[in-house]
């Protein structure tokens, strides 16, 4: 039978394991500066919106902001 390793009080201190993700980390814009925006849309639109944001490597709020900024630019150029 194998011997159990000796433990000390240092072994009892919890450690925070950081999860590695492929997504960009939060914190680029402090969430205190952001205001929630909620509305309902058809499931097909939501699915395609999420897929396009994923294809571009953007978060949903970043993608919405990108689209809105492009819309504003095109409106100014058209008028």
Per-residue pLDDT tens for 44-76? 999 999 999 999 999 999 999 999 999 999 999
**How many structural domains compose the chain?**
1
- Is 51 inside a domain boundary? yes
Q: What is the pTM of this model?
A: 0.59
- Is 76 inside a domain boundary? yes
- Is 67 inside a domain boundary? yes
Residue 36 has pLDDT above 70, yes or no: yes
- Is 15 inside a domain boundary? no
Which domain covers residue 53, as residue numbers? 43-79
- Is 37 inside a domain boundary? no
- Is 21 inside a domain boundary? no
- Estimate to the nearest angstrom the gap between the alpha carbon of 61 and the chain centroid: 9
- Is 64 inside a domain boundary? yes
Greater model confidence, 23 or 43: 43
Are the C-beta atoms of 52 and 63 separated by less than 8 Å? yes
């Amino acid at each position: 039978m194998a011997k159990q390793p000796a433990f000390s009080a240092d072994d009892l201190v919890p450690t925070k394991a950081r999860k590695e993700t492929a997504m960009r980390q939060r914190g680029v814009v402090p969430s205190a500066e952001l205001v929630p925006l909620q509305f309902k849309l058809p499931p097909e639109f939501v699915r395609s919106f999420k897929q396009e944001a994923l294809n571009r490597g953007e978060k949903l709020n970043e993608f919405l902001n990108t689209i809105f900024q492009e819309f504003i630019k095109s409106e100014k150029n058209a008028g």
